[in-house]
Amino acid sequence: MSMNPRIAEAIEQLKLRTYYSAYPENPKAYPDEANEAGKLAFQKRLSNRFDELIADESISWLGEEVSPYMQVGLGIEYPVFSVDSLISNAKNARDQWSKISPEKRADILIETLDKVQERFFEIAYATMHTTGQSFVMSFQASGPHANDRALESIALGLQELTRINHEVNWVKNMGKFDLTIKKNFKPISKGVGLVIGCSTFPTWNTVPGVFANLITGNSVIVKPHPKSVLPIAIVVAEMQKVFSSHGLNGNLVQLAVDSLANPITKQLAEHPAVKLIDYTGGSEFGEYVESLPGKTVFTEKAGVNSVILESVGDAKAVFGNLAFSASLYSGQMCTAPQNIFVPADGIATAEGHLSFDEVVSGIQQAIVGMAENPKMGPFTLGAIQNDMTKNRVNDTLSSLGKSAVEAQVVNPEFTDARIMTPSVVAISEQDRNLWNKECFGPIMFIVKVENSAKALELAAFNAENKGAITCLCYSTNEGYCAEVEERMNSVFTPVSFNFTGAAFVNQHAAFSDFHVTGGNPSGNATFTDALFINRRFVWVGNRYA
């Protein structure tokens, strides 16, 4: 069977790692009417049952999503299934699917992405009103960027599944005769995969595991966060339809909706038929998942990301870049910086020396300035996904005798949006209880440290002990940059250097950037390296004399 040219291209891109995207990220690249149609489709769902999923065996319906923009419940209900029926369906579907060739699987999976692409705008509005992301981020992250990450799984999957010949005639000359053995090599899928989603990136963080499981012949149960169901529900529905259209069991991928009050995640995770678990979320539950015996587990947990400020060229450009990275989706990205380590005696800039306090106020002003810019603020900050995040930041601030920064941010469309401008708090090296743990949400600590060596030491210490997904370093000193790269890489943390302009530390591009290294406590896996695929199946070779 020959390889789908789109997948062959994607495989090549995985090696090149230059810019590549198979799905246009600009909403304007899509038909004019698509945006309005998507919005309307979303609006029609409100206060209705989501009826696109296979639901014959549903035992009830529920939904508890709340729009962070409107702060009212969406009223959408999803079918609820018993754990037994989810598992039983998943086992049956896997038995069928695992017999299909990897090439055919890839073709079908690519087709599901085409169908998902037709619903990018609807998914975007669904993402906005569950996560609080801005429209553009919702569109890009849950649409093209998620599809690109899914395609990455399909492509790398097919590459790995076909990296050896499946049928071999093994002939060994034994002197007087040839010994001939016919061999076959089969990539046997592990079983049922469970993919546990998070509330902030319900599709982007979910689809890599879903498609990696499917291309390798496993079936999938998606357990979305109860507050962020709709975006992935649309994706799962489209996938089920494509599977059914090929005469396959649509339950190859299922949506397991539960509620915050009655979660079923542990029941699913601990079920003996579930062999694979992908998880995105907090560290505590992540460690529980990692500890389950007999499971192959892929996690993205919390990290504490650092910025190291040693010296800069254009301070204004740096503060602007930092302000944007901190403000993008109000610091609710797992890649957002939390701690900025700055030497006590300040930093050198192209326009002269800046004291520590000047650095702090420069960053603060840049954030507030951006937040209050009506063309940027509301569309960068988006909304806070849930009250817990807002309360966590407020509690932290009040424990320090401070209150949240009060910027005048007005969202012209959603006056009730849950908005919070990132606060910047200057602390000292001694405030270890603040900089040595994740404080998820719109808050950054600027940590006054003895010198730049100490800045690196603490950033590396955090990465090694608490995990880090990103590190951003500003330095005009090449030797120092090399030191930072080596030291942070040694604790398996990538470093971005001197980002200004349109380069942001938060952004991890498919087909180029690895997302999470898997080498520090922020997670044990990567989007997308060979392990992300190969751990999902087992090579078995049979021999016929």
Nearest-CA neighbor of 191 among 158, 159, 220, 166? Answer: 220
Of 52 and 290, which has the nearer Cβ to a copy of itself? 290
Of positions 305, 349, 394, 526, contacts a copy of itself by CB under 8 A? 526
Q: Does 1 bind a copy of itself (CB under 8 A)?
A: no
Q: Does 9 bind a copy of itself (CB under 8 A)?
A: no
> At its nearest, how many Å lie between a copy of itself and the CB of residue 509?
7
Instruction: Select the span of 78-86, 329-337, 453-461, 484-492 touching a copy of itself (CB under 8 A).
Output: 484-492
CA distance linking residue 410 with residue 50, whole number of Å? 32
Q: Does 540 bind a copy of itself (CB under 8 A)?
A: yes
Q: Does 262 bind a copy of itself (CB under 8 A)?
A: no
The encoded tokens of residue 281 equal 């979320």
Residue in the block written with tokens 């995040």: 389
Whether the Cβ atoms of residue 194 and residue 274 lie closer than 8 Å to each other:
yes
> At its nearest, how many Å lie between a copy of itself and the CB of residue 520?
9
What residues have CB less than 8 Å from 158, skipping those under 6 apart?
3, 7, 11, 102, 103, 106, 215
Q: Does 489 bind a copy of itself (CB under 8 A)?
A: yes
Whether the Cβ atoms of residue 153 and residue 533 lie closer than 8 Å to each other:
yes
Q: Does 514 bind a copy of itself (CB under 8 A)?
A: yes
Residue 357 backbone zone (phi > 0: left; psi -120 to 50: alpha; other: beta)? alpha
The encoded tokens of residue 132 equal 């609080």
The encoded tokens of residue 230 equal 């709709």
Q: Does 350 bind a copy of itself (CB under 8 A)?
A: no
Can you give the length of the chain in residues?
A: 545
* Per-residue contact string for residues 142-181; x = within reach of a copy of itself by CB under 8 A: ------------------x--xxx--xxxxx-x--x-x-x
* Per-residue contact string for residues 178-197; x = within reach of a copy of itself by CB under 8 A: -x-x-x-xx-x-x-------
The alpha-carbon radius of gyration of the chain (Å, integer) is: 24
> At its nearest, how many Å lie between a copy of itself and the CB of residue 405?
27
Q: Does 478 bind a copy of itself (CB under 8 A)?
A: no
Q: Does 24 bind a copy of itself (CB under 8 A)?
A: no
Of 183 and 316, which has the nearer Cβ to a copy of itself? 183
Whether the Cβ atoms of residue 345 and residue 354 lie closer than 8 Å to each other:
no
The encoded tokens of residue 19 equal 């810019």
Of positions 2, 262, 433, 542, contacts a copy of itself by CB under 8 A? 542
CA distance linking residue 220 with residue 86, whole number of Å? 10
Of positions 493, 510, 523, 527, contacts a copy of itself by CB under 8 A? 493
Of positions 215, 495, 506, 510, contacts a copy of itself by CB under 8 A? 495
> At its nearest, how many Å lie between a copy of itself and the CB of residue 485?
5
CA distance linking residue 203 with residue 137, whole number of Å? 12
Of 461 and 514, which has the nearer Cβ to a copy of itself? 514
Instruction: Count other Cβ atoms within 10 Å, centred on residue 102.
Output: 22
DSSP-assigned states of every residue in 307-328 = EEESB-S-HHHHHHHHHHHHHG
Residues that bind a copy of itself (CB under 8 A): 14-19, 160, 163-165, 168-172, 174, 177, 179, 181, 183, 185-186, 188, 190, 485, 489-490, 492-503, 509, 512-514, 517-519, 526, 529-531, 534-535, 538-545
